[in-house]
Structure 1
Amino acid sequence: MVEQGLIRAAQSGDRDALITLLREIEGHVYKTAFYILHNEQDALDASQEALIRVYTKIGSYEEKAQFKTWVQRIVTNICIDKFRKTKPTVSIDEHELVFKDKQNVERDVLSTYLAEDIREAIDQLPEHHRTVIVLRYLQDFSYNEIADCLDLPLNTVKSYLFRARQQLQNRLQEYQKGGVSG
């Protein structure tokens, strides 16, 4: 959680406070961008653009909204714009294939495939459903924070989440039945 004093100092022109603030949020910004865009380079570009926007617009931030909600709105809007311009691709990072426990290789392989299938299922969701899933389950936002971030009515957020969970459940039914045979 970002300290309000740090935000005020950054708004007052304290360059060190602003840099500290940007460093505190950059991981969250990248995580959101990556899970929406599913591409490391696009996520890095979107993160950089979002951090620059926070840097240039910190003076316009008003404390009536939570700072993290304000930042997430910025990065989400940038990602949605990028997503509309490019078709997303799904990739597996090489580090996901490194096994930490050699005795449980089978479990690790299944876990890797499940994680990939979940990412692919999320990627297949309509843009608005994918965005609320990312904010709710990967960024741990409350329903109200998502509504503020996306400038949507609370009931719309609830509806999007309900439909997105239903779609994910339908796409992942093979795992609910005990795994994929293969």
Structure 2
Amino acid sequence: MVEGDQVRRARDGDREALVGLLRELEGPVYRTALYMLGNQQDALDAAQEALLRIYRNLSGYRFEAKLETWAQRIALHTAVDFLRRRKKILPLDERVDPGRGRRESPVEWAGVSHDVKSAIRRLPEPQRRVVILRYLQDFTYEEIAETTQLPLNTVKSHLYRGRRKLQSWLADYREGGVRP
């Protein structure tokens, strides 16, 4: 968790504070880029660009939102810019493992993980954004609304629709794996 004092020191030119701040943000920014863009190389490029934008715009950060929320907004906009430039959907790199605490064997998990990532990538962009922020970044509804600059009810609606689509697409899975 980045504290206001660290942000102020970074803005005032404290290199150590700036490096620490960017290191704390790089993981969440990368994960958002990965789920938005679907492959490691583009995600690395987008994360690097987002971190550069965060650095360049740090003087404009007004402490009205949590820094993580502000940074995720930049990460989302950067990823969307990449999507617009690319104008095509690429499959997720199957080697990336976003899951934690799984009970399945590595072979079973690889199939489930691939299916979940593919399903998330199929969601329309607004639904994908809120699903990523809610379930991969663990943002509250309010933080998602602030990050995406959408009304709270719109966030809830996108989440509801996204969950329903994911449930439908992933209906073959239940607790413990694939249906017999």
- For 1:97-136, list aligned pairs within 5 A: 107-136=105-134
Between the aligned partners of 1:10 and 1:111, the Cα distance in structure 2 is: 41
- Contact (CA 8 Å) 1:39, 1:88: kept in 2 or not? no
Higher Rg of the two aligned structures: 1
Native 8 Å contact 2:94 2:110 kept in 1: no
Amino acid at match of 1:12: D
* TM-score, length basis structure 2: 0.89
**Deviating more after overlay: 58-67 vs 7-16:** 7-16
* Equivalent residue number for residue 89 of structure 2: 88
Q: Where do 5+ consecutive residues of structure 1 fail to align?
A: 97-103
What do the CA deviations read for 1:105-149 (whole angstroms, capped 9, x no partner)? x83322211111111111111011111110000000000001000
Note the residue ranges of structure 2 that are not aligned, 5 or more in a row.
98-102
Please show how residues 132-147 of structure 1 align to structure 2 within 5 Å.
132-147=130-145
Give per-residue Cα distances to partners, 1:61-96, cap 9 Å, x unaligned: 011111000000000001011122222322211x76
Q: Which residue of 2 aligns with 1:33?
A: 33
1:68 correspondence with 2:60: no
Runs of 4+ in structure 1 off by over 4 angstroms are none
Partner of 2:9: 9
2-side partners of 1:41 and 1:180: how far apart?
A: 34
The residue type paired with residue 167 of structure 2 is Q
Q: Which has the higher helix share?
A: 1
**In 2, distance between residues paired with 1:24 and 1:120?**
27
In 1: Cα distance, 2:11 partner to 2:143 partner:
22
Partners of 1:50 and 1:61 lie apart in 2 by: 14
Q: Where does residue 79 of structure 2 map in the other structure?
A: 79
Counterpart CA distance in 2 for 1:111 and 1:153 is 36
| RMSD between aligned residues | 1.9
Are 2:169 and 1:171 aligned? yes
Specify the alignment match of 1:24 in structure 2: 24
- State the TM-score, normalized to the length of structure 1: 0.88
Larger mean CA deviation between 27-36 and 69-78 belongs to 27-36
SS state of the match for residue 24, structure 1? Answer: helix
